Structure 1
Amino acid sequence: MSDAADIDYFALGLEDFDESARLLEDDFFPREPLSIGTHLVTSASTGKIGRKLRECLASGVSFGARDVKTRSLVAVRLSYTATKEHSADEDPVDEEKSEYEIKVSGLIEEVASKVDVFQDHDVNKVLYMYMLCVRRNYGGRGIGKKLVRMTMERGKDLGCQLAFTTITNVLSGRIFAGLGYETRYTLDMSTPEGDRGMDLAAMDGNRTVRIMTIRL
């Protein structure tokens, strides 16, 4: 389907791996606050991030946006689902973690662990919003919000009772708040308790990591 901005929206699959990885490396990580705060770069096609990218693309709950004229991928909403019985995200025992995975992925996992998404007896399947990326020159058109809505609708169709996202960017937080997500936990890195050694001055006012959820 297409909108007034000549954008096609479609379900992502494993065949979109290379293009999605390039988009993340070109437009997501260079602007993601925790990446900026650690001054670290990472690959989207290898290690844990590469594994999660493949999981998202195979999940049936990830969507992309493509410019009709150029046919270039301009945005992705990467997501996956997990049940109460299969919610653990274990790393291979013999895998060596990169500094990025330790400092950035580790912090995100630490914050995520503060919220028990399965605490309600009727929640057995959760939609995890992994990464949302819109190319810089395509921002402000509502593309990200539309991708989130599409993902939520598909997640609900697949039996998810709750959607979960980790927010490190104020702008992304506004999208989710506007859709009715509530903040369940906040780590403020500008406080002594939240200090994780980030270069906050470089993070353009983004100083918190938040967990937000919504019932589907």
Structure 2
Amino acid sequence: MLLQLSAVANFSRLLQMDRDKDIGYSLLTPEDFDQVTTFIDEDFLTREPLNLGAHPRNLGAHSTASSASGATGWYLTKCLASGVSFGARDFKTGALVGARLAYIKTKTDLADEESADEKKTELESRGLSVIEEVGSKVNLFQDPDVEKVLYMYLLSVRRDFCNRGIGTKLVQMTTERGKELGCQLAFATITNMLSGRIFLGLGYETRYTLDMSTPEGDRGFDLSAMEGNTMVQVMTKRLG
């Protein structure tokens, strides 16, 4: 009980951070689903390197189906119900300008995630196949004391709100919340250089790198559309 009260107290302090500025941070919940999917469609999928590289040239980035459906929609629902996903909003407009979506993963979740596999669209399958390949290179539960993993699913900040520390703050809040809820390890798959710098700065360790610009790393993606972000990395951090 004391541990729970301490966790609530720490969590409340996190939510109060930056109240005197124009950005507010809060826990994302299932009620935010529509706003989150709109944000992802407009501000994440249009810039995410694997999504851009997986697209046929003649379709363009905006041809992606809504993130409300498919495997993406399945994972978003899971993240918003997890209690470890956070959003940043502009106080003036109430608009979502950043999101750190995550969920808690255990050894028994593998069968559950088969449901997401069944929902993959063709485009999702291309990008997720790389994410899954890279992720499989690191055994999250190799240490016997690791029973719960904070699985970082998605990080995005609206372009006109970048370089204000929002992404760093969202990762910090999610990491702290995961630790309070008993996670022993945090895991993230990085597909762009900016996110990589954020995680390195917060003490995450690079465990595996796939360089898609090399013959060994070529997976048939359009590298010219990926804006120089041709490396996919796995990063982890011990939380306890």
Q: Percent identity?
A: 62
User: How far apart are residue 102 of structure 1 and its match?
Assistant: 1.4
Within 5 Å, which residues of 2 pair with 1:129-148?
A: 129-148=152-171
User: How far apart are residue 42 of structure 1 and its match?
Assistant: 3.4
Q: Is 1:38 aligned to 2:64, yes or no?
A: no
User: How far apart are residue 100 of structure 1 and its match?
Assistant: 1.2
User: How far apart are residue 86 of structure 1 and its match?
Assistant: 2.9
* CA pair 71-16 structure 1, distance change in 2 beyond 3 A: same
Q: Partner of 1:90: helix, strand, or coil?
A: helix
Q: Over residues 44-72 of structure 1, what are the superposed CA-to-partner deviations in whole Å (9 max), with x where a residue is unaligned?
A: 10011001000000000000011111111
Q: Is 1:21 aligned to 2:44, yes or no?
A: no
Within 5 Å, which residues of 2 pair with 1:45-194?
A: 45-92=68-115, 95=118, 97-194=120-217
Q: Partner of 1:129: helix, strand, or coil?
A: strand
Q: In the alignment, is the contact (CA less than 8 A) between 1:48 and 1:91 conserved in 2?
A: no
User: How far apart are residue 93 of structure 1 and its match?
Assistant: 9.1
Match of 1:209 in 2: 232
The answer for unaligned runs of 5 or more in structure 1 is: none
User: How far apart are residue 202 of structure 1 and its match?
Assistant: 1.8
Residue type of the alignment partner of 2:203: G
* CA pair 94-36 structure 1, distance change in 2 beyond 3 A: closer
User: How far apart are residue 84 of structure 1 and its match?
Assistant: 2.2
Residue type of the alignment partner of 2:51: S
Q: In the alignment, is the contact (CA less than 8 A) between 2:88 and 2:98 conserved in 1?
A: yes
For 1:49 and 1:163, how far apart are their aligned partners in 2?
20
For 1:94 and 1:48, how far apart are their aligned partners in 2?
7
User: How far apart are residue 10 of structure 1 and its match?
Assistant: 0.3
User: How far apart are residue 190 of structure 1 and its match?
Assistant: 0.9
* CA pair 201-60 structure 1, distance change in 2 beyond 3 A: same
Structure 1 stretch 44-53 or stretch 86-95: which is displaced more?
86-95
Q: Over residues 76-98 of structure 1, what are the superposed CA-to-partner deviations in whole Å (9 max), with x where a residue is unaligned?
A: 10000011233455333994631
User: How far apart are residue 105 of structure 1 and its match?
Assistant: 1.2
Greater helix proportion: 2
TM-score by length of 2: 0.86
Q: In the alignment, is the contact (CA less than 8 A) between 2:203 and 2:237 conserved in 1?
A: yes
TM-score by length of 1: 0.95
* CA pair 94-168 structure 1, distance change in 2 beyond 3 A: closer
For 2:26 and 2:117, how far apart are their aligned partners in 1?
36
* CA pair 161-96 structure 1, distance change in 2 beyond 3 A: closer
Match of 2:7 in 1: none
RMSD of Structure 2 on Structure 1 (CA): 1.6
